[in-house]
Amino acid sequence: MNDQNNAAFVYSVNMLRMLLAMNLISEEEYKKIVDISAVHYGAEKIYV
């Protein structure tokens, strides 16, 4: 299950990066959503 959570977290961060690159979300929104996703998926270390 942990591998699935890790993969889902990486996927969500990559999607957020794409939205950020397209200027559809701000840097602040990006950081907030990454933090929320990390808690949701149980990510202990975040390297983004």
Q: What is the DSSP letter of 42?
A: T
Give the pLDDT band (50/70/90) at residue 3.
confident
C-alpha distances out from residue 4 to 9, 19, 21, 38, 41, Å:
9, 23, 26, 13, 9
pLDDT of residue 15: 97
Structure tokens at 20: 């950020």
The answer, yes or no, to whether residue 2 has pLDDT greater than 70, is yes
Q: What pLDDT was estimated at residue 35?
A: 93
What's the pLDDT at 48?
Answer: 64
pLDDT digits (tens, 9 = 90+) for 7-48: 999 999 999 999 999 999 999 999 999 999 999 998 877 776
